A and B are shown apart, each in its own frame.
Chain A
Amino acid sequence: MPVRIVEKHKLATRWMHWINFPVLTIMIWSGMLIYWANDVYNVRLGGKVIVRFFPEWFYKALHIQHRLAEGMAFHFVFMWIFIINGILYIAYTLVSGEWRYLFPDRKAFREAWQVVLHDLHIRKTAPPQLKYNAAQRIAYTMIIVMGIGSVITGFAIYKPVQVQWVMILCGGYEAARVEHFLLTLGYVLFFLIHLLQVIKAGWNNFRAMVAGFEVIKEKDGSQNQSL
């Protein structure tokens, strides 16, 4: 039986992806150790707190309490890896031309909606795609913009005097902290959807992120597409 090989992810992309995963996890975890020391955020509806960031049981379960110093140390050590890895990724994506697969095109927003409908089994067909579908293009570009946002808001909180203009750009010191927090919630949301999609996409898709290629058994061996 003929086998089709799809060479999907470049070696550099895979390295940077898998470095980012644990590093971002450490950044979020150490960020929570820091946030705990002044955990003032919540969502209110009609004056009533409906979501509290975070409830006591949450802190207890993750052993977050009384670890501010440790959190700050990890945060300000691993931020360098996060920043360097991010810069390398952006540079690589631009130079290698991979951005063509990643950047949302003009049809992206209409198509992304169709992808969502298709994923929810409301629509039968998905729009045609290259490496990434329109929803992925938007998500994977958004996550980079969010990363840049985290670095900017992060420095606004971290060095509000030395880079005061960054702090002011963020709308002030406290606003920057809120933004930094919201971006983190965004990562968690991204991660959950990403994980579900990876599970749904199956083994070959995951293999491509590790080995770089998919190995697909062809039912009909006559095709030889080149994309």
Chain B
Amino acid sequence: MKEFVVDDKTAKKYRRKSLIAFIIFFALLALGWTGWKYLNNAPRDGGIRGGLQKPLRQVLDLNEEVYSGLFSSKRLVKEYPRSKAAPRARVNGDVGLDPSLFDSASWRLQILRANGDTLSLTLDDIKQLPRYDVVFNFKCIEGWSQITWWSGARFSDLIKKYHLEKEAGMKYVGMATPDEEYYVGIDMPSIMQPQTILCYQLNAQPLPMNQGYPLRLIIPVKYGVKHLKRIGTISFSNTRPPDYWAERGYDYYTGL
């Protein structure tokens, strides 16, 4: 810090400098305000890039590139002893679960293969796969979390058993409820992570209707919004499949 006494002439110079600094300050303030207004009123795209101002969506896409680049399926979600699991799992959201539209007897898991065929599986087919339990802290995008115990078959085991290697070579998996009301898109590395399961049990009991009976997705590396309840179809693609909440302004990736 420097201090010095100046004569009138120099003092005048400093006063002018001060005035210019304030003019620049207010000009930048106005510029910042204009930028803020522009950002808030920026046009919005539709589809999975919908519900958000374009510049924000662009940065979220950039974030997605950063985090999917850093993602490692070797980093496992912390698991807990079963005794820590909540006896009643919280229910949040019922889109795609309309009971009047669901017939459990005719339900099949439809897997759309790359060659156009559909692989149709029953719940027993899924139960033939090795059973895997995961007790983890389920995280909702709203901000709450709960330790819950889920059981099912690893998604990666399904790929192996039904020789879906070609499909798994693609970039994304899309899932939808039987009535197609709810749907998610998930990047392949996340869904192939060993803790991702096609889940048919909660607390060692069959899934309740409101938890997506007969089969739901549990994907601990994502927020709850991606844990689609009552899987109807599974598809594969190299472009991002439709996603219910992304269309409503949420981040597509939502990886934890």
Does the CB pair A70–B3 fall under 8 Å?
A: no
**Docked-complex contact B6 and A70, CB < 8 angstroms:** no
Of B53, B57, B67, which contacts A159 at CB under 8 A?
A: B67
Within 1-48 of B, Cβ neighbours of A (below 8 Å) are at 1-8, 10-11, 14-15, 17-18, 21-22, 25, 28, 32, 36
Q: Is B142 an interface residue (CB 8 A)?
A: yes
For B153, what are the chain A residues with a Cβ–Cβ distance below 8 Å?
none
Q: Known contacts being A70-B52, A77-B60, A173-B145, is A2 close to B139, with CB within 8 Å?
A: no
Q: Check if B4 sits within 8 Å of A159, measured CB to CB.
A: no
Q: Which residues of B contact A7 (CB under 8 A)?
A: 1-3
Number of chain A residues close to chain B: CB under 8 A: 48
Which of A70, A101, A218, A223 lies in contact with B1, CB distance below 8 A? Answer: A101
| A40 close to B (CB within 8 Å) | yes
Within 8 Å CB of B15, what residues of A? 215
Classify the secondary structure of B's interface with A.
mixed
B143 touching A215, Cβ below 8 Å:
no
Most chain B CB within 10 A, of A69, A161, A225, is at: A161
From B14, B17, B77, give the contact of A161 (CB < 8 A): B77
CA distance A211 to B21 in the complex (A): 5
Q: How far is the CA of A161 from the CA of B256 in the complex (A)?
A: 5
Which B residues touch A18, using CB under 8 A? 25, 28
Binary contact readout A60-87 vs B (1 if CB under 8 angstroms, 0 otherwise): 0000000011101110110010000000
Q: Is the CB–CB distance between A5 and B56 below 8 Å?
A: no
A161 touches B221 (CB 8 A): yes
Is B75 an interface residue, CB under 8 A from the partner? yes
CB-defined contacts of B2 to chain A, threshold 8 Å: 5-7, 226-227
Q: Does B51 contact A (CB under 8 A)?
A: yes
Given A74-B56, A162-B75, residue A8 in contact with residue B256 (CB < 8 A): no
A174 touches B145 (CB 8 A): yes
Contact A2–B142 (Cβ < 8 Å): no
Other-chain residue from B14, B77, B220, B248 in contact with A69 (beta carbon distance below 8 A): B248
12 A-B residue pairs with Cβ-Cβ distance under 8 Å, sorted by A, are A3-B10, A3-B11, A3-B14, A5-B5, A7-B1, A38-B143, A161-B220, A161-B255, A162-B70, A173-B139, A215-B11, A223-B5
Listed in ascending order, the chain A residues whose CB lies under 8 Å from chain B are 2-8, 18, 22, 34-35, 37-38, 40, 68-70, 72-74, 76-77, 80, 101, 130-131, 159-162, 164, 168, 173-174, 177, 207, 210-213, 215, 218, 221, 223-227
Known: A215-B15, A224-B5. 12 other contacts (CB 8 A): A3-B8, A3-B10, A5-B5, A69-B52, A69-B249, A69-B250, A70-B52, A73-B60, A162-B255, A164-B75, A211-B18, A221-B5
